[in-house]
Amino acid sequence: MTMFDDRTITDFDHHSPEYAENSRSINASLRAQCPVAHTDAHGGFYVISRYEDVVAAAKDDETFASGHEVNGIGPLGVTIPPSPVPMFPIEMDAPDYLPYRRLLNPLFSPAASKAWEPRVEKWIDICLDQVIETGSFDIVDDLANPVPSLFTCEFLGLPVEHWRDYAEVQHEIIYTPPEEQEQVLVRYLEVIGRVFGMITERRAKPEKDGLISTLVTTEIDGEPVPDEMVLSMVNLVMAGGFDTTTAVTANALIYLADNPQARQQLIDNPDMIPQACEEFLRYFTPQQGLARTVTKPVTVGDVELKPNDRVLLSWASANQDESAFDNPDEVVLDRFPNRHTTFGIGIHRCLGSHIARIELATMVRRVLARMPDYKVNHDGARRYPSIGVINGWINVPATFTPGERLSNERLPGA
């Protein structure tokens, strides 16, 4: 680190291979040496790394804006670099944001999410049935990817037999470094175009189930929700639904494979699994952080920020902060309290958190019940080359003692 113009300059880049390999030590250095650090990466931004500062900024939505002005003037959204397609309503600010949040809240409530649990478990067992007799599977390809993807497609009302088309490009755009995304963006925009076509079809014939049909038949302030806004909300649900749960599930199952005592503890005490999953969410923070744009002068720590400064709120670093968590570099299965920042803080707290918890806990529970002796082949495992958005895995091969199918149902699109 060097000093320049009274601002601390670092070479921090959350999309870099170095960060992917050493994120915990980099975050620890930032918290200890420069908790509000400036970097020239991606046009320049500040990274806020301490728990107290991250939470305070996330709660202050008047000073730290989430909006995304498509003309490039003003706030630039919640990702660094900015997303090519604005993600509304998460990239909106109050009061414009509030009617859309009120519209979506009941659909993602604890009760509404709980009602989906049988479907989640059904998808999990169908996925496990495809491999249970073979004695080998890939934790990502055969479980952690298809389960959230199938559920998300069903929830949205997209054809589940095409789940791979929707999911794979979302994964690619997440783990491909920004400077290498040109070809991925072409495929991504093709998929978004297909989804937009379905939205216009549902507008004409909204008889199908799913969130898309709900949105095209709903009014806000007496007006239909515009197709472009429906598309953005669907895109946001896809982005959140396809990748974050996949990432934390893979990390959790790797940890349990490598720590047989912890695994046996959960096998013997399955009621502990939800609490353990809260710790997996903290320790293996899937979404590393989200950005904000400063709207007025503000001081964070001893650093003065000015309007239009970009800041990254590091959920991952906050979750590793020793001032907020005892022994933060250890997985404590029964940690309580566990006020992690994984689902965000403030008005933009993750809508899908209740569903994500159900998916994660149910996948862990069913794997421990049906493949209790699984072992991970670390030599064949591949991490995301960039974890600047999601801390995930491309492949995690594993072996186990073969078991019996529960049904002969095939995976859609197989």
Q: What pLDDT was estimated at residue 7? A: 55
What mean pLDDT is predicted for residues 75-94?
89
Res. 413: pLDDT tops 90: no
Least confident range of 31-40, 53-62, 179-188, 399-408 = 179-188
Domain locations along the chain: 2-399
What mean pLDDT is predicted for residues 385-411?
96
What mean pLDDT is predicted for residues 285-305?
97
Least confident range of 205-214, 330-339, 356-365 = 205-214
pLDDT tens-digit readout, 215-224: 999 999 999 9
What mean pLDDT is predicted for residues 146-168?
95
Amino acid at 101: R
- Higher pLDDT: 92 or 7? It is 92
Q: How confident is the model at residue 72 (pLDDT cuts 50, 70, 90)?
A: low
What mean pLDDT is predicted for residues 107-123?
98
Could you tell me the pTM of the whole model? 0.95
What mean pLDDT is predicted for residues 48-54?
99
What mean pLDDT is predicted for residues 298-327?
98
- Higher pLDDT: 70 or 62? It is 62
Q: What pLDDT was estimated at residue 111? A: 98
pLDDT tens-digit readout, 353-377: 999 999 999 999 999 999 999 999 9
Least confident range of 135-149, 161-175, 244-258, 328-342 = 161-175
Q: What pLDDT was estimated at residue 71? A: 63
What mean pLDDT is predicted for residues 187-195?
92
CATH 3.30.930.10 at 2-399, yes or no: no
- Higher pLDDT: 218 or 2? It is 218
Res. 3: pLDDT tops 50: no
